[in-house]
Chain A
């Protein structure tokens, strides 16, 4: 090989490597763009309202006063309802898949859980409006009122639309991600732990409960937190069933509004000024919280060594 050819080869390598590195940098840049764009565009509102923005309860574009507490309330409450419903179910499902199910049934159920994850948010919302809302109004809410009606949580007229329905719908939507991440967490529990337990004369449930689940607690917590991140930011389905009334009420039967649903409702109608800035600040809040949740869990809980697995891996990420 002549000297020149060698140079060209080197140049080619350099160019290719540079191109891939540039593409990789774009992900870095993307993160920076998120942070910078959100901050600069909400700066006006941040300066103007300070902490009042998150503690204020009035949201009035006409007089340019913006307090986001009702939306934060709605976001937190609907997500908590979702977690309360989804966490036991997801962990149970993951435990079933990993510890109980025969291979064939496991494959089938996993396939169904993947399908659940692939359904678009807007389809969940549509189903929510026409199936879940009437069902909650006619069956769930009267039932809760009759049995647990003494709790403030379950008082008020059964609208159907509201926090409870949003929470149920969110629970269904975050079930696949919590399930699949929990499943991976359980996958990381050494067989030796299960065998140690069984060999001591434990039943299968005792092995699951006392040897398998506790072994990778942090992995399961990470799964829950990432599920929470999903719930907090979920937009369309919630917007369609929560009622979109900025209320702070102890009752889950009452309508509410979340940060994301407010954005979905109002952002397209804004042209600029303080209103836009305030809406962007809501987005920044959402971004900040989900970013931190993701960073913290992923930093402290390495989510199961990412083994090579191409398509299987893609499947994991989609859920």
Chain B
């Protein structure tokens, strides 16, 4: 009996050591994962803030060779393209979400749509760009803000549909039944009671969707293209912040590179702010999932 105990203890010392080592290794994973985050945030802040100035925020790009200029047109352009995409995508997405949560919870059509919405979110955004190119740019024979917005809205619809569905499902069936018991038709119950009850989560979802769109580059490369000037209507190529950052990042000029950092800083600030606001909103109003 004692020999067995001794053996167990001897082995246990080793097991315990392993336990401690592996736990330390797991903690190391956290550190390793956070190093890039810290590095990215600090570089973007450090190199970006230095390059952001009034010109950057107010002016269009300087011609090649000339110094100065800014990304004002790109910032506005991003706003236009993302705004248009949201205008097209959010209503469709929310309606689809209503269908999934209210009418199609268990039927086959609902299941297929839900499944495809998930799958489509896994499709690379560059592919979305190609499809929008063949759908809009080719027939219209021009790159355009509109084409860019179409590409982005194609990404937005599945995302919003699923988040809207989840948001609506958080509204308890008791409320549904209580409202229906008052003799209201279902659609009015949905529009007046349920959407109202779910509005916070809906807004959060939409904000997150918009934040994600604002960071997209690939689907815009050959739909919205780029433009050195202020926007010239929805049917003309338009500059966006992301494409401009890309263009300036890979350019061999130092001042363009500096502007790319500035653009990244503005972009990241907007996106992270939207994210944080959306989540704080969700957390403060609707409690937190444990």
| A131 vs B29: C-alpha distance when bound (angstroms) | 21
User: Which residue of B129, B268, B289 is within 8 Å of A120 (Cβ)?
Assistant: B268
Q: Which residues of A contact B282 (CB under 8 A)?
A: 310-312, 314-315
Q: Which residues of B contact A25 (CB under 8 A)?
A: 113
Knowing A204-B23, A294-B118, A317-B159, the reply to whether A109 touches B30 (Cβ < 8 A) is yes
Residue A150, interface by CB 8 Å: no
Q: Whose C-beta in chain A lies nearest to the C-beta of B160?
A: A314
Cβ distance A259 to chain B, nearest Cβ, rounded Å: 9
User: Which residue of B33, B44, B131 is within 8 Å of A175 (Cβ)?
Assistant: B33
Residue B286, interface by CB 8 Å: yes
| A312 vs B158: C-alpha distance when bound (angstroms) | 17
Q: Which residues of A contact B166 (CB under 8 A)?
A: 306, 308-310, 313-314
Knowing A9-B185, A27-B120, A280-B130, the reply to whether A312 touches B19 (Cβ < 8 A) is no
Interface of A is mostly: helix
| A280 vs B104: C-alpha distance when bound (angstroms) | 35
Q: Whose C-beta in chain A lies nearest to the C-beta of B261?
A: A126
Residue B73, interface by CB 8 Å: no
User: Which residue of A113, A125, A264, A286 is within 8 Å of B33 (Cβ)?
Assistant: A113
Q: Which residues of B contact A317 (CB under 8 A)?
A: 121, 159, 162-163
| A290 vs B121: C-alpha distance when bound (angstroms) | 10
| A164 vs B22: C-alpha distance when bound (angstroms) | 27
Check B161 against A27 for contact (C-beta < 8 Å). yes
Residue B34, interface by CB 8 Å: yes
Q: Which residues of B contact A31 (CB under 8 A)?
A: 116, 119-120
Q: Which residues of A contact B118 (CB under 8 A)?
A: 294, 298
Check A240 against B161 for contact (C-beta < 8 Å). no
| A122 vs B216: C-alpha distance when bound (angstroms) | 8
Cβ distance B131 to chain A, nearest Cβ, rounded Å: 5
Cβ distance A90 to chain B, nearest Cβ, rounded Å: 8
Q: Which residues of B contact A28 (CB under 8 A)?
A: 112-113, 116
Cβ distance A167 to chain B, nearest Cβ, rounded Å: 14
Q: Whose C-beta in chain A lies nearest to the C-beta of B170?
A: A310
Check B216 against A120 for contact (C-beta < 8 Å). yes
Q: Which residues of A contact B15 (CB under 8 A)?
A: 203, 206
Interface centre among A229, A287, A299, A311 (most CB of B within 10 A): A311
Cβ distance A36 to chain B, nearest Cβ, rounded Å: 9
Quick one: which of A20-40 are within 8 Å of B by CB? 20-28, 30-31, 33-34, 37-38
Residue B253, interface by CB 8 Å: no
Check B221 against A268 for contact (C-beta < 8 Å). yes
User: Which residue of B47, B186, B218 is within 8 Å of A260 (Cβ)?
Assistant: B218
User: Which residue of B96, B159, B279, B289 is within 8 Å of A20 (Cβ)?
Assistant: B96
| A33 vs B130: C-alpha distance when bound (angstroms) | 11
Interface size of A in residues (CB-CB distance below 8 Å): 98
Interface of B is mostly: helix
Check B208 against A115 for contact (C-beta < 8 Å). no
Knowing A125-B246, A203-B16, the reply to whether A20 touches B102 (Cβ < 8 A) is yes
| A111 vs B157: C-alpha distance when bound (angstroms) | 25
Residue B52, interface by CB 8 Å: no
| A21 vs B36: C-alpha distance when bound (angstroms) | 44
Q: Which residues of A contact B250 (CB under 8 A)?
A: 129, 240
Q: Whose C-beta in chain A lies nearest to the C-beta of B141?
A: A271
Q: Whose C-beta in chain B lies nearest to the C-beta of A263?
A: B126
Check B29 against A96 for contact (C-beta < 8 Å). yes
Check A23 against B126 for contact (C-beta < 8 Å). no
B interface footprint on A107-148 (CB within 8 Å = 1, 0 otherwise): 001001111101111111111011100000000000000000
Residue A45, interface by CB 8 Å: no
Check A260 against B198 for contact (C-beta < 8 Å). no
| A114 vs B161: C-alpha distance when bound (angstroms) | 21
Quick check: which of A10-18, A49-57, A59-67 contacts chain B, the rest being far away? A10-18
User: Which residue of B94, B119, B157, B163 is within 8 Å of A313 (Cβ)?
Assistant: B163
Check B246 against A20 for contact (C-beta < 8 Å). no
Check A38 against B131 for contact (C-beta < 8 Å). yes
Cβ distance B237 to chain A, nearest Cβ, rounded Å: 10
Q: Which residues of B contact A22 (CB under 8 A)?
A: 95
For the complex of A and B, list the 5 residue pairs with the smallest distance between their C-beta atoms, beginning with the closest. A233-B124, A120-B215, A311-B282, A310-B201, A23-B95
29 CB-based A-B contacts, threshold 8 Å: A12-B188, A21-B109, A23-B161, A24-B100, A24-B104, A24-B110, A28-B112, A34-B120, A37-B131, A38-B134, A96-B30, A115-B272, A119-B215, A120-B215, A120-B268, A126-B264, A203-B18, A203-B19, A206-B15, A235-B125, A260-B126, A260-B218, A264-B218, A267-B130, A286-B126, A310-B163, A310-B286, A313-B167, A314-B201
Chain B residues at the A interface, C-beta cutoff of 8 Å = 15-16, 18-19, 22-23, 25-30, 32-34, 36-37, 39-41, 43-44, 47, 91-96, 98-100, 102-104, 109-110, 112-113, 115-127, 129-131, 133-135, 138, 143, 154, 157-159, 161-163, 166-167, 169-170, 185-188, 190-191, 198, 200-201, 204-205, 208, 211-212, 214-218, 221-222, 225, 242, 245-246, 249-250, 257, 260-261, 264, 267-268, 271-272, 275, 278-279, 281-283, 286, 288-289
Additional 6 contacts, C-beta under 8 A, given A235-B218, A263-B130, A310-B205: A30-B116, A119-B37, A126-B249, A263-B129, A306-B166, A317-B159
